[in-house]
Amino acid sequence: MARSFRRQNTSILITLSLILLATLYIKHKDNILWRKAFYYYPTRLVPAYRAPLLHCSPPYSVPGSYYVYLHHGCTIEQHNETLGEAINLDLMIKSAQHGTKQYDYAIYWARGVDDAVLAAIRGDLAVDAVECMKRPQPVSLWDPESSTWVEAEQDEIPASSD
């Protein structure tokens, strides 16, 4: 009789613990501490962390050019230290943007990034996402002089005269 109560109490405690952990994870899933705790020791069940790669369809993206979005509170200097001395981001970063005190974020644009460096960048826990730089798309414009549609790059589109 006592054994069945212990088994039942143990299963209730385990169930409540799992519910509590799931609730905490859902409520605070954007916190970087969850990433550190969850991905610190990769296993077969939990693979190593890789930040999502966004908007990288081949004809529309520029190869080797990426926007890297860092988690709020993380700086580019900390990210560079995490990657190590083998990867020199200073040569690849073309522009960087830091947030204000209210919106603390960091985004940088890197050019000339090969696959090994991209894998290292995506493997850093401080990286929220990596987005491929998009190639400017040609736009069809109506040319009233020739009465035809003309292909133009987006930077060639004349400003509207409103």
The residue assigned the tokens 């060639």 is 156
Q: Specify the pLDDT at position 82.
A: 87
* Burial class for 110, CB neighbours closer than 10 Å (0-12, 13-18, 19+): buried
Domain at 31-162, CATH from 3.30.70.80, 3.30.470.20, 3.40.30.10, 2.40.50.100: 3.30.70.80
Residue 158 has pLDDT above 60, yes or no: no
Report how far apart, in Å, the C-alpha atoms of 93 and of each of 63, 64, 114, 137 are: 15, 12, 13, 24
Contact indicator for 156, 82 with CB cutoff of 8 Å? no
Contact indicator for 127, 82 with CB cutoff of 8 Å? no
pTM across the whole model: 0.65
Mean pLDDT computed over 32-49: 74
Q: At a CB cut-off of 8 Å and minimum separation 6, what does 55 contact?
A: 61, 131, 132, 134
Which ranges constitute the DSSP H helices of the chain? Answer: 2-27, 32-39, 76-83, 89-92, 115-123
Identify the residue with better confidence: 87 or 140: 87
How far is 162 from 150, CA to CA, in rounded Å?
22
Residue 61: pLDDT band with limits 50, 70, 90: confident
Structural domain boundaries in the chain: 2-30, 31-162
Mean pLDDT computed over 8-17: 84
